Amino acid sequence: MLKLNILGIRGVPAQHGGFESFAEKLALYLVGQGWQVTVYCQESGTGPIYESTWEGIRRIHIPIGRDGASGTVLFDWKATCHALSQEGLFLTLGYNTAIFNVLQRVKGQTNIINMDGIEWHRDKWGVLAKAWFWLNERVGCWVGNHLVADHPNIKEHLATRINDSKITMIPYGGVEVLKANASLLAPYKLKPDGFSIIVARPEPENSIYEMVHAFSRKSRAHKLVVLGDFKPKANPYHLRVMDAASDEVLFPGAIYEAPLVQALRFFSRFYLHGHRVGGTNPSLVEALGAGCAVIAQDNHFNRWVAGSEAAYFKDEPACAGLFDRLLHDDAAVEHMKTASRARFQERFTWPQVLHEYEELLTRWYPSK
């Protein structure tokens, strides 16, 4: 039986974001294909490491008595040390603690690393954090037997570190949403096509302020829903965004219930995506799968994912201009929605993505 061990995430079932959702999809798919899949799971608290099974997936639970980044680093260390005793193939999602994977390379284990985005480019990190991520990116390129890039431009970036024959480009997948429950909008007093949506962490690099301010320049007879965990009393950027918002902008907080998020995307007029850093963003892929008309920050990451028929802005005035021009242009919106579904089918369905991963993992499976 082929065995895969997945490291680098908090665990399954998915609760924390794109990597966890991908790991859950991949693990369930491979179990269905006859693989034995082990996933390392971070738990709160103290105590010994223990095991459980979920949907045929073997889970190694590692209790960690710390929160935040230090707790994640400690979990990665303990997971890597435990993995040294395991057999089969290893898949590490992210390079943030790639320095620990040196141990696997020394032992001769075969480890494929998904290198995620260019973490050290992100504005939110200080000098020390950026140096840590830069170092671990370099180490990951060296110690990984093979690398996965989730975007062609991430592959190009990594190819400045190593030969590109060591890198395979496989994007994230998404769920196609063909229908949704409109009644879920009622508590927010929203009507289908009467609002647009932003789904992103409220950080400067995601252009939240620019999009909110552009929308709020004048009355739109339309709502803008901004999902995210805003804490204006603790975070000056959050306060700046909320102060820039007109009374047509709603901040319902962070929402994780999949049916509700799907309904918000599916019934929105536009999905706004302001990410300036990263590769293939899972939320943007989900927007394509829901047939959203996409307005995105103009960079090579977003252009490859969303395609040529999405609308792009370089700065706040350009974003405001797109609202002015497109908000009441039904024909343009329908064209953009159709193009989003076509782009999704072309490259981002889960069957495509998971099959490509299985082919790669099978090719790199260690020989006896």
Q: Which long-range contacts (CB under 8 A, 24 or more apart) does 309-318 make?
A: 309/335, 309/336, 309/339, 309/340, 309/343, 310/336, 310/339, 310/340, 311/336, 313/214, 315/210, 316/210, 316/211, 316/213, 316/214, 317/214
Q: Are residues 102 and 242 in the same domain?
A: no
Q: Are residues 215 and 267 in the same domain?
A: yes
In the chain, % helix, strand, coil (3-state, to 5) comes to 45, 20, 35
| Cβ-Cβ contacts under 8 Å for 199 (sequence gap 6 or more) | 227, 228, 261, 264, 265, 271, 283, 287
pLDDT bucket at 126, cuts 50 / 70 / 90: confident
Whether the predicted pLDDT of 117 surpasses 80: no
The Cβ of residue 100 has, within 10 Å, a number of other Cβ atoms equal to 21
The Cβ of residue 53 has, within 10 Å, a number of other Cβ atoms equal to 8
User: Which letter, b or e, does each residue of 146-171 get, where b requires 16 or more Cβ atoms within 10 Å of its Cβ?
Assistant: bbbbbbebbbebbbebeeeeebbbbb
Mean pLDDT across 173-195: 96
The Cβ of residue 224 has, within 10 Å, a number of other Cβ atoms equal to 25
What integer pLDDT is reported at residue 90 of this predicted model?
98
pLDDT in tens, 85-95: 999 999 999 99
Q: Is 261 exposed, middle or buried (0-12, 13-18, 19+ CB in 10 A)?
A: buried
**Integer distance in angstroms from the first to the last C-alpha of the chain?**
12
Angle at alpha carbon of residue 250, lines to 212 and 260, rounded to 5°: 115
pLDDT in tens, 7-25: 999 999 987 667 899 999 9
Q: Are residues 212 and 130 in the same domain?
A: no
Q: Are residues 253 and 295 in the same domain?
A: yes
Q: Are residues 186 and 205 in the same domain?
A: yes
**How many Cα atoms occupy the beta-carbon half-sphere of 167 within 13 Å?**
23
Whether residue 109 is contained in a domain is answered as: yes
Whether the predicted pLDDT of 120 surpasses 70: no
Whether residue 368 is contained in a domain is answered as: no
Give the H or E element holding residue 271: strand 271-273
Q: Is 329 exposed, middle or buried (0-12, 13-18, 19+ CB in 10 A)?
A: exposed
What integer pLDDT is reported at residue 16 of this predicted model?
64
CATH number at residue 45: 3.40.50.2000
Whether the predicted pLDDT of 121 surpasses 70: no
Whether the predicted pLDDT of 119 surpasses 80: no
Angle at alpha carbon of residue 50, lines to 101 and 144, rounded to 5°: 15
Mean pLDDT across 150-158: 94
Q: Are residues 257 and 339 in the same domain?
A: yes
For 67, the domain range is 3-173+350-363
The Cβ of residue 61 has, within 10 Å, a number of other Cβ atoms equal to 16
Q: Are residues 157 and 292 in the same domain?
A: no
Domain count, the chain: 2
Whether the predicted pLDDT of 125 surpasses 90: no
User: Which letter, b or e, does each residue of 283-297 get, where b requires 16 or more Cβ atoms within 10 Å of its Cβ?
Assistant: bbbbbbbbbbbbbbb
Mean pLDDT across 175-182: 96
Say what percent of the chain tops pLDDT 70: 97
Whether residue 51 is contained in a domain is answered as: yes
Per the DSSP assignment, residues forming a β-bridge with 90 are: 5, 111
Strand order in the sheet with 311-313: 249-253, 223-227, 195-199, 271-273, 294-297, 311-313
What integer pLDDT is reported at residue 123 of this predicted model?
67
Mean pLDDT over each residue of the chain, to the nearest integer: 94
Mean pLDDT across 35-63: 97
Mean pLDDT across 95-115: 96
**Residue whose C-alpha is closest to residue 278's, from 255, 297, 256:** 297
CA-to-CA distance for 22 and 20, rounded, in angstroms? 5
Mean pLDDT across 69-94: 96
pLDDT in tens, 206-232: 999 999 999 999 999 999 999 999 999
Mean pLDDT across 109-128: 80
Mean pLDDT across 144-155: 96
Strand order in the sheet with 167-169: 50-54, 57-64, 36-44, 3-7, 89-93, 110-114, 146-149, 167-169
Model-level pTM greater than 0.95?
A: no
Whether residue 60 is contained in a domain is answered as: yes
pLDDT in tens, 309-365: 999 999 999 999 999 999 999 999 999 999 999 999 999 999 999 999 999 999 999
Q: Are residues 187 and 96 in the same domain?
A: no
Whether residue 200 is contained in a domain is answered as: yes
Q: Are residues 211 and 281 in the same domain?
A: yes
Q: Are residues 199 and 163 in the same domain?
A: no
Q: Are residues 326 and 252 in the same domain?
A: yes
Whether the predicted pLDDT of 124 surpasses 90: no
Give the H or E element holding residue 130: helix 127-143
Q: Are residues 162 and 262 in the same domain?
A: no
